[in-house]
Chain A
Amino acid sequence: MSTLQEELKVSIIEALNLEEYTPADIDNDDALFGDGLGLDSIDALELIVLLDKDYGIKLTDPEKSKSIFQSVNVLAAYIEENRTK
């Protein structure tokens, strides 16, 4: 299955060097930060770079990124609405 969610999981694992994870380990509703994947602030910056590079989305408001990076599903929905490439 090749959905945006699956594509994002592969990109996140690669961009954040989550070598002990496979896409199957990440549920679409898992929290990306905190108790979920346990990502940190540097990971958040990498995700901002990923959005710009892959989807042409420039995030400038850190507060906004908090809500966008809740889960793969939330992130995919935001990308669908705002992508320029």
Chain B
Amino acid sequence: MPATAYFIESYCHISSSGLNHNGTLNPSKETNFDEYLKSLYRTLDLKYPKFFKMDTLSKLSFLGADILLEHSAEEKTETALVFSNRSSSLDTDRKHQASITAGADVYPSPAVFVYTLPNIGMGEIAIRHQLHSENAFFVFDSFQAEFLQKYTLSLLHQKKATRALCAWVEVDGHTRHGFFYMVSKEGTIPHTKTEIEQLFSAENV
């Protein structure tokens, strides 16, 4: 089956600049990224109080997935998750490390500790949307369009899923950026390395 049998059905970027959903720009009015994610949650009118307990990486993953999954008419349960980033859960790891090296009066937070893995965000998505499909989280030095494209096609061709939500979700220091795209048989953008790279580069809102 040729690679072009699958398409990029939809995509979005979420960054400090705001939301870019299929090329429609909604700039952020917040100066703080966490506050922006909360404002986006409220704008999307989501009813999921556990959102506020998540770390930044999971909040970012959760919102990006919700935007693409909720705007899709297809059945969600056969959607694979293929996520990646550079810094794993390092942002939260540092918070946890700080809490356990705070001196004699040490009170590490269980709620922080549970997010010291990058794939927890995918668990949050799977719970929210009742996904029982394949999922994988890869850590790369940089965004790897070719790997994601080949891995995703492999899943689809092997009928492990009918479509795949792919993402780059990077949260570390000043870098806060999520790029999400849905691969399925619907859409007009060919699911190729070149198209994925172009969409990834078009993050600026």
Which residues does A use to contact B, with CB under 8 Å? 16-20, 38, 42-43, 45-46, 49, 52-53
Contacts and interface: CB of A to CB of B under 8 A. Distances in A.
Given A49-B107, A49-B109, A52-B107, A18 B114 contact: no
B86 interface: no
Contacts of A46: 109-111
A53 B107 CA distance: 7
Contact of B49 (A18, A49, A53): A18
A6 B94 CA distance: 33
Given A20-B52, A42-B111, A42-B114, 20 more contacts: A16-B111, A17-B52, A17-B111, A18-B49, A18-B52, A19-B49, A19-B52, A20-B49, A38-B49, A42-B110, A43-B111, A45-B110, A45-B111, A46-B110, A49-B107, A49-B108, A49-B109, A49-B110, A52-B107, A53-B107
Interface residues of B, number: 10
Contacts of A45: 110-111
B38 interface: yes
Nearest to A50: B107
A16 B53 contact: yes
Contacts, number: 29
Contacts of B110: 42, 45-46, 49
A46 B111 CA distance: 7
Nearest to A38: B49
A85 to B, nearest CB: 12
A-B interface, 10 closest residue pairs, ranked by CB to CB distance from nearest: A45-B110, A19-B52, A17-B52, A53-B107, A17-B53, A49-B107, A42-B110, A46-B111, A42-B111, A20-B49
Interface string B51-65: 011000000000000
Interface in B90-118: 107-111, 114
Contacts of A38: 49
Interface string B30-65: 000000001000000000010011000000000000
